[in-house]
A = this chain, B = another copy of it.
Amino acid sequence: MDVSTRGGKRLLNRDDWMRAALEAVAEGGVAAVAVDRLAKQLGATRGSFYWHFRDRRELIDASLEKWESEHTTELMPEVDAIADPVERLRYLFREVYEQAVDPIEVALASAAGEPLVAPVVARVTNTRLAFLRRIFRDLGLARREAADRAWLAYAFYVGHHELATNDELRKSQPNRLDLIIDLLTAPSARKEMRR
């Protein structure tokens, strides 16, 4: 944390650039991370940027990793304390369904295919899938069925937010979570229908 100065101005460090980059991601997605704009914003030249980072790619890489470590394992312990698996799922979904979602998260999800973003998304997703599998295992489902439902649940979560970024479509969005929780946690449905 060396906060040196020169000629009155505070010298910049990697963290300053990364914070500015994450702000840009939140506002306009990864594409909005422009070295030139950040430099102007921070009162420096582009040349200065290249002292701290090899290139734009490294800035984005480092920024997303920073975000990941700060945001991915955040509410996990809290949720883990809920014993009933259905309630645990309900809590999790209410959390992400009703509240405003982290704009960085949305930006990353909708750029999951880009080579810069893919590894971050993969790591975060795997953590969450493991968490969901635990829930369905605790519900008494077989390993494979639990894995499949976890995928279904997470795919729904991702798609839901993808669709919700579109103002027009948000109107069609159901406002009760119960149905979703019910369906996801239903006993093996096909068998149910046969009785």
Contact = CB atoms under 8 A, between A and B. Distances in A.
Interface stretch (A4-12, A47-55, A57-65, A169-177): A169-177
Contact of A193 (B29, B159, B186): B186
Which interface residue of A109, A167, A183, A185 has the most chain B CB atoms within 10 A? A183
A42 interface: no
A113 interface: yes
Number of copies of this kind of chain in the complex: 2
Nearest to A144: B174
A172 B112 contact: no
Interface in A3-47: 29, 31
A80 interface: no
A163 B186 CA distance: 24
A169 B119 CA distance: 10
A118 interface: yes
A166 to B, nearest CB: 5
B193 A162 contact: no
A157 interface: yes
A9 to B, nearest CB: 34
B190 A174 contact: no
A149 interface: yes
Interface string A146-181: 011101101111111011011111001110101110
A70 interface: no
The 8 A-B residue pairs whose C-beta atoms are closest, nearest first, are: A159-B159, A158-B159, A186-B189, A155-B159, A113-B165, A122-B168, A148-B174, A182-B189
Given A113-B166, A118-B166, A145-B179, 14 more contacts: A31-B31, A110-B162, A121-B166, A121-B169, A148-B176, A152-B179, A154-B159, A154-B163, A155-B155, A155-B159, A158-B162, A178-B190, A183-B189, A187-B192
